[in-house]
Amino acid sequence: MNSTWEQTKAQQAPARDQIVCHCHQIRASEIQSVIEQDCVETVEDIGRRTNAGTGCGSCQCKIQRLLNGLPVDCSPCGFCDGCGTIRKLCVCPVDQVERAPSAA
Ligand code: FES
């Protein structure tokens, strides 16, 4: 490497194809490929085809983000208790009640 710019680019490159599921060492590109080629729609479908998300389960939020066409990483997020989608994308009544601003 000759420059700081080259070093920076080299450090950023792995992030574009980061490991999404550490339990099974599945990268974002593999999951994205399954989404595009097999037209899967659920985290469970991804798990059946790649094993991603079938270990500890902590990566399922990231898999859901890929399924929704979003980048792997986001700010802290969680699943809606009512419908199971990412809270930021959820439109079900359970999540709306949980996120409603308090009147106080
Ligand atoms: S990190 Fe994917 S199942 Fe544990």
Is there a single domain that holds both residue 69 and residue 98?
no
| Number of separate domains in the chain | 2
18 lines ligand 1 (CB under 6 A): no
Q: Report the atom number in ligand 1 closest to the C-alpha of 55.
A: 3
CATH code of the domain containing 20: 1.10.10.1100
> Per residue in 64-95, pLDDT tens?
989 998 888 765 566 677 787 766 666 666 55
- For residue range 3-32, list pLDDT tens digits in order: 554 554 444 444 468 899 999 999 999 999
Range of the domain at 92: 76-104
Q: Which residues contact 18 (CB under 8 A, 6 or more apart)?
A: 27, 28, 72, 73
Are residues 81 and 66 part of one domain?
no
pLDDT score for 94? 58
Task: Give me the numbers of helices (H) and strands (E) for the chain, helices first please.
Answer: 5, 2
Protein residue closest via CA to atom 4 of ligand 1: 56
